[in-house]
Amino acid sequence: MQFGWTDEQTRLHQRMRALGSDVAAVKPPERMRALAAAGALALPLPARHGGAEHDLVTTAYAFEGLGETLDDAGLLLAAGAHLFGVALVLARVGTEAQCARWLPELASGERLASVAVTEHRSGSNVAAVAGVVEPDPAGLRATGEKCYVTNAERAGLFLFVGRTAEQARGLTAVLVPRETPGVVVGKPLELAGLRTAGVAPVSFQGCPVSAGAVLGKRGAGMAVFHLAMGFERALLLAFRLGAMRRQLDEALTFAARRTLGESSILEHDAVAHRLARMKRRLETSRLLVYRAAWELDTGERAAGSAALAKWHVAESAAESALDAFALRGAAGCLEESGLPGAIDDALAATIHSGTADVLATVVARSLAPHRQSG
C-alpha cells in the first residue's frame, strides 16, 4: 500500500489548485465555462471521446485541488453531477454510438448534463418513481415530474429514469436532450446552501425519445441508477476534502492570531481539540474517498465503500463547519466570514446522492447482504 502521489498526479493536483484560484476570480455565471475550458469536466473520460482518461483516484485528487482554492460548493457539486452522475455512466454503459454522440460535448462542457430521478412522492425510494418510459409509435416517450435536479438550469442533457410500462417493477434510463419537445425546466429553487448548483424542477411532458436513447437496457434503469450513485457517492464530494483543508488552515490561523488579554485562544485545550477533530475528519474522509475511488478503478461496484465515503465526508464537513464557526465567536456570525454559508452548503450535502439514513442502510447491506429490511 502506498500513500504517495506520482509526479504526474501532483502536477495535475497543482494545476487544478491554480485553476480553482483562477475560476474564483471569474463572475459566477461564467465559472462552469472556465472549469470546462481548462479540461476539468473531461478528466476521467475516454481519450477517444475528448477525455483525459485519468483514473478515478487521480480524478478525485484533482477535485480535491479545485476545492482547496475554489470556495463555490454549488458549482463543484454541479460539475460533479455532470461528470460523475452522467458522463462517466455514459462512458461505462453507453453504446459506441451514444458515446460518440454525447461524450465529446460533455467532455468539453459544450453541453452539461443532469441526473433527473427524484420525484416528490418517491424521494429516497427510487423504485417508487411514477415517471414512465413507455412505447410510442415513433419509439419511446418519457413522462414525469422530477424535482431537485442539480445543474438543471444549465443542462443540455438529462438522464431520466422512469417506470417501464410493460414491466411493473422495472425502470428504464433514457438520455433526453433539453431541446426535446415537452422538456420544461422550472424556476431554480432558492436553496439555503449550494445556491450555485442550479437546482430546479424539470417536467418531462411526453417527450419523444428514440430507442437509441436508452442507457443500458430497457428495464435496467435501476442498475444504471446504482452505477451513477456509486460514482457520485465516491467522487462528488472529493472537492470537499480540499474545502475542509482550507477551512482547517483558516481556523488554525484565526486561533493562533486571536489573543484575549495576554494569551492566544489556541492555549485552550477546548479550542485546540476542535482543530484536532477537524484534522481527524479531514484525514479519515480522504482515506474513505480514495479507497472508494480505488475500488471503482479496479472494476468493483464499490457500493458499500462509496456509501461509506459519502456518508462520512458529508457529516464530517458539516461537523467541521460548525467547529470552524464556533471557534470564531461572534466573528463567525458575520457573512464575510463565509461560515454561515459554509454550514448551509455542508448541511445540504448530507441530503443529495442519498441521505445519511439511506447510506447507512447501503453500508449495512454490504456487511449483511441477506438482511431482509431496508
Ligand X SMILES: Cc1cc2nc3c(=O)[nH]c(=O)nc-3n(C[C@H](O)[C@H](O)[C@H](O)COP(=O)(O)OP(=O)(O)OC[C@H]3O[C@@H](n4cnc5c(N)ncnc54)[C@H](O)[C@@H]3O)c2cc1C
Instruction: Please report, as ranges, the residues that interact with ligand X according to CB under 6 A.
Output: 81, 114-118, 123-124, 148-150, 194, 197, 199, 348, 351-352, 355, 357-358, 361
Least distance (Å) from ligand X to the CB of residue 130? 13
Least distance (Å) from ligand X to the CB of residue 266? 35
When the beta carbons of 149 and 282 are compared against ligand X, the nearer one is 149
As separate numbers, helices (DSSP H) first and strands (DSSP E) second, the chain gives 12, 10
131 neighbors 123 (Cβ within 8 angstroms): no
How far is residue 202 from each of residues 100, 176, 184, 275, measured CA to CA in Å?
Answer: 26, 12, 6, 42
Least distance (Å) from ligand X to the CB of residue 357? 3
Reduce the DSSP state of residue 364 to 3 states and report it: helix
When the beta carbons of 218 and 352 are compared against ligand X, the nearer one is 352
Least distance (Å) from ligand X to the CB of residue 194? 5
When the beta carbons of 90 and 251 are compared against ligand X, the nearer one is 90
When the beta carbons of 68 and 119 are compared against ligand X, the nearer one is 119
When the beta carbons of 108 and 361 are compared against ligand X, the nearer one is 361
Residue 64, CA atoms < 13 Å, CB-side half-sphere: 24
Grid cell digits, residue 108? 468539453
When the beta carbons of 123 and 188 are compared against ligand X, the nearer one is 123
* CA–CA separation, 76 and 238 (whole Å): 10
* CA–CA separation, 357 and 225 (whole Å): 18
Least distance (Å) from ligand X to the CB of residue 221? 13
* Alpha helices per DSSP H over 258-338: 269-297, 303-327
* CA–CA separation, 94 and 103 (whole Å): 10
259 neighbors 208 (Cβ within 8 angstroms): no
Please provide the DSSP assignment of 224-236 as one string: HHHHHHHHHHHHT
* Residue in the shown chain whose Cβ atom is closest to ligand X: 123
* CA–CA separation, 241 and 62 (whole Å): 11
Least distance (Å) from ligand X to the CB of residue 159? 9
- Running DSSP on this structure, what letter comes out for residue 220? B
Least distance (Å) from ligand X to the CB of residue 109? 17
Q: Going by DSSP bridges, is the β-strand pair 132-136/167-177 parallel, antiparallel, or unpaired?
A: unpaired
When the beta carbons of 191 and 266 are compared against ligand X, the nearer one is 191
Residue 111, Cβ neighbours under 10 Å: how many?
18
When the beta carbons of 18 and 364 are compared against ligand X, the nearer one is 364
- Please name every residue paired with 141 in a beta bridge, in sequence order, or none if there are none: 134, 208
Least distance (Å) from ligand X to the CB of residue 351? 4
When the beta carbons of 113 and 278 are compared against ligand X, the nearer one is 113
- Running DSSP on this structure, what letter comes out for residue 205? E
Least distance (Å) from ligand X to the CB of residue 308? 16
Residue 149, Cβ neighbours under 10 Å: how many?
27
Least distance (Å) from ligand X to the CB of residue 352? 4
When the beta carbons of 323 and 344 are compared against ligand X, the nearer one is 344
Q: Report the Cα 233 to chain-centroid distance in Å.
A: 7
Grid cell digits, residue 262? 495576554
